[in-house]
A and B are shown apart, each in its own frame.
Chain A
Amino acid sequence: MTAVLQIIFDALSLGSLYALGALGIALIFGVMRLVNFAHGDFIAFCVFAMLWPSIDATAVVFAGMLPFYLLIPLLLIIGAALSILSEIIVFRRFRNTNPATMMIASFALGFVIRHILLMFYSSRPKSITLWPSLGLPVDFLGAHIPMLQVVTIVITLVTLAVLVLFLKRTRYGLEMRAAAENFTMARMLGVRANGVILLAFAISGMLAAAIGLILATISGTADINMGANVMLIAFIATVIGGLGSVPGAVAGGFIIGAASVIFQATLPHDARVFRDAFVYGAVIVVLLVRPQGLFAPKSAKQRV
């Protein structure tokens, strides 16, 4: 029983991370048909923003010293600002080009961000300690659950709730959903294209910052490639959920998180090394059965 509980919490917390990543990708894809492969580098950038530039292995924590009620808003602002700047400087110029061109632009942007980080911080991973108390386990029905897992799950659920309220109950959320479905029609109803797109980028950047914080706390290291892995899986999650569907992206994130944890727990010992192969195999099966994704919106193809 406690083992099952442990697996459930593992699955939920890993799934949360992927769901937050997938959301950041899906929101931008929704309004712009851009798969932003720089998203992973946004995550890394937010983590490194907590450190002084240096090439030493032990990180000189800078913003990371701030109390959490200042650090969290600061990082969210950094994430949003980086994301907005990348829209204004890079993606705006590619807005009417085809999706492949935009995707390549996002690769290039990711490359630039990664190399800026390399220049200031070197490629050596650095150890950072944020909130060590979160590593302590809490007892829950007999299982020892790390506090951080609980916090991750709670943060994700709160983020999802706020996002749903924003999308369903506010004027800007309505405009964003309308624009995601038919951008030209939304503009003909007076919805400002730049406003909606900047808002999507800002939210996506804040999600990247949130993932960065969680990852840095879990792993205790700052690594230039730390966002790339999450980004890849989050992208796969959006594809499984149905590109362009926000609920699909969240569901896809949780499904992949659960699949990884369940394979890890149930595969025979010798096969565990190949866990990712099993996960990706399952992804292939899903896409063979439903190439449009599990929750594909009807409007995904149409783009005037």
Chain B
Amino acid sequence: MTLLAVDDITVSYGRLTALRGVTLKIAEGEVLFVTGPNGAGKSTLLNAIAGVVPAGSGSITMDGAKVTGASPEDIARRGFSLVPEGRNVFGALSIEENLKVGTGMRADRHKIAGDLESVYAEFPMLADRRHTAAGMLSGGQQQMLVIGRALMTAPRIMAIDEPSLGLAPKIIDQVYEILVRLRAQRKLTLLIVEQSSTRAMMTGGRMILIRGGRIVLEGAAADMIEDERLKQAYFGFGDH
């Protein structure tokens, strides 16, 4: 069943067009990787779905309901949780407070305490320091925290913008292990923007390649690494 459908959306910042007619569908339980070079429009795509930047044309539907033009909070309340690039922890708030910000909108309030414990079980490092200000954490720890924070909203789709950005390879492996495990445990639908496509291959799932605001390639992640066109898209050889 299609959980999220993006239909022919265009996004412009002033005279600069960041997305030109992007169409995609994500089914429940699926993993979709969005990859592409810098400035291709990957983050813009996530921000447009999240309602942070307005789509100039086209439509976005979540669970069959049209959400084009809805506010970020309404889209979050429909179960779309975005972990934006640069992590964005609330530095002055404690770890536990960070985890709780997104629970205010939940209707199943009796489940929150249990979810908090399971996030702590997943990230023991967060449990040990639950009353520490989040600004004191290292980059890798902050990445764990924002994933935990997104989980605490009990999302149906979790979107993550460049989870590996600025992290050591060992930490990146850890982040992906956790994502793969969470997906299996919770039947979470994942939408991951990642510049390094090799991580995507390891995780499996589907992959789209964006360049210049358009989808130029789409397929199973495992097949795409073999595709010469992926390299071409990155390095700009040939015509595109």
Contacts and interface: CB of A to CB of B under 8 A. Distances in A.
A20 to B, nearest CB: 23
Interface in B143-166: 149, 153
B73 A178 contact: no
A188 B88 CA distance: 11
A189 B149 contact: yes
Interface stretch (B89-97, B122-130, B220-228, B229-237): B89-97
A177 B76 contact: no
Interface stretch (A104-112, A144-152, A190-198, A265-273): A190-198
B212 interface: no
B100 interface: yes
B221 to A, nearest CB: 26
Q: Interface residues of A: mostly helix, strand, loop or mixed?
A: helix
Nearest to A175: B104
A171 B52 CA distance: 23
Nearest to A172: B104
A223 interface: no
A182 B72 CA distance: 13
A159 interface: no
A192 to B, nearest CB: 5
A58 interface: no
B102 A190 contact: yes
A181 B73 contact: no
B71 A189 contact: no
Contact of B73 (A172, A191, A299, A304): A191
B73 A193 contact: yes
Contacts of A191: 73, 101-102, 104-105
Given A193-B71, A298-B91, A178 B52 contact: no
Interface in A262-304: 297-299, 304
Interface in A152-195: 171-172, 174-175, 177-178, 181-182, 184-193
Interface of B: 50, 52, 71-73, 76-77, 81-82, 84, 88, 90-93, 97-98, 100-102, 104-105, 135, 149, 153
A182 B104 contact: no
B145 to A, nearest CB: 12
Contacts of A189: 76, 81, 101-102, 105, 149, 153
Interface of A: 171-172, 174-175, 177-178, 181-182, 184-193, 297-299, 304
Contacts of B93: 174, 177-178, 181
Contacts of A186: 90, 101
A187 B104 contact: no
A47 to B, nearest CB: 35
A187 B71 contact: yes
Nearest to A186: B101
A178 B76 CA distance: 16
Given A187-B72, A188-B82, A190-B153, A174 B91 contact: no
22 contacts: A172-B104, A175-B101, A175-B104, A177-B92, A178-B97, A178-B101, A181-B90, A181-B91, A182-B88, A184-B72, A185-B90, A187-B71, A187-B72, A188-B76, A189-B105, A190-B102, A190-B104, A191-B102, A191-B104, A193-B73, A298-B91, A298-B135
Contacts of B100: 171, 174
Contacts of A172: 104
A215 B196 CA distance: 63
Given A188-B52, A189-B102, A298-B135, A181 B92 contact: yes
